[in-house]
Structure 1
């Protein structure tokens, strides 16, 4: 089992979650579409050669973003990450994947 966390702007929160659920993430036992989300503030500066979804190259941006966390089975994690990259509006989405143990 894996835990996936991704940072996404409010405008794409629901569509990204739907894509990840459709790919098989967010299932815990007999429960589906399980996720945790919290609103925070992220920051970044697009460097030369970037094509930012928000902001301009060379300018520091501070944006509201949701951190969304959900679990995913071993056999689906690579597919789910691929879907995340396709469905996310950012050129380079920020995400984390952790292996978790069922004890």
Structure 2
């Protein structure tokens, strides 16, 4: 079984909704550590971006620098093979996330 860490950034007001959706739909593979479920590490911070001329921003205006209070969310994703589950989780993240473009990272974890 492959194990990944998914890291993404989400506005503070939306983080619980996004997390709850991921746990509800992928609870057997997302945020499980041993006998614990719905595990995530959530860190506050400030994101910045400037929407380009073709952007359709949820927050801010095209061409103007925007600063948003966000959460950096880290969670594990177990994938039983073929990287299909991590792809499904990312697809779900993109579907429920409020931003037009979702900033996320995926790291493959090694067992020691």
Q: TM-score range with shorter-chain normalisation?
A: over 0.9
**For each residue in 1:4-60, what CA deviation from the matched residue of structure 2 results, as whole angstroms up to 9, or x when unmatched?**
011000111101001111223101121100000010001000001100010000000
Cα root mean square deviation, aligned: 0.9
Gaps of 5+ in 1: none
CA-to-aligned-CA distance 1:54-96 (integer Å, 9 cap, x gap): 0000000011000000000124211110110001000001111
- Given the alignment, which residue of 15, 18, 22 partners 1:16? 18
> Displaced runs of 4+ in structure 1, greater than 3 A?
none
**2:54 equivalent in structure 1:** 49
When normalised by structure 1's length, the TM-score is: 0.96
Count of paired positions: 103
Partner of 1:70: 75
Return the alpha-carbon distance in structure 2 between the equivalents of residues 30 and 69 of structure 1: 18
Residues of 2 paired with 1:95 and 1:19: CA distance? 17
